[in-house]
Amino acid sequence: MNYIFNKVLDQQDLKLSKKLISSYKKRLEKEILDRSMKLRMPQIKFEEIINNNNELINLKKALKDLEMESDSHSKV
């Protein structure tokens, strides 16, 4: 029973982590977009900034890793 309880907690932790990281990623992308619009940057430029932003790259990787972790937990 303890194993099942821990598995449920792990799944909840993973879901919460994914939700928080995803929310932060969206806020960061919106901030970049808003600032780019304020500076009247061309769309291609702020898309380039978003695609090459180290923090966003790390967030995308973290979300991918969490998704893989979640998939591996659901198979156990």
41-70 tens-digit pLDDT: 999 998 999 999 999 999 999 999 988 887
**Of 23, 45, 20, which is closest to residue 35 (Cα–Cα)?**
45
In the chain, pLDDT over 70 holds for what percent of residues? 83
- The domain containing residue 53 runs over which residues? 42-76
pLDDT at 4 over 80: no
Identify whether 58 is part of a domain. Answer: yes
pTM of the full predicted structure?
A: 0.77
Flag whether 11 is in a domain: no
pLDDT for the residue numbered 9:
53
Cβ burial 34-60 (10 Å sphere, 16+ → b, else e): eebeeeebeeeebeebeeeeeebeebe
The verdict on residue 36 lying in a domain is no
Give a yes or no: residue 48 inside a domain. Answer: yes
Whether 8 is covered by a domain: the verdict is no
Number of domains in the chain: 1
- The confidence score (pLDDT) of residue 61 equals 96
- Residue 76 placed within a domain: yes
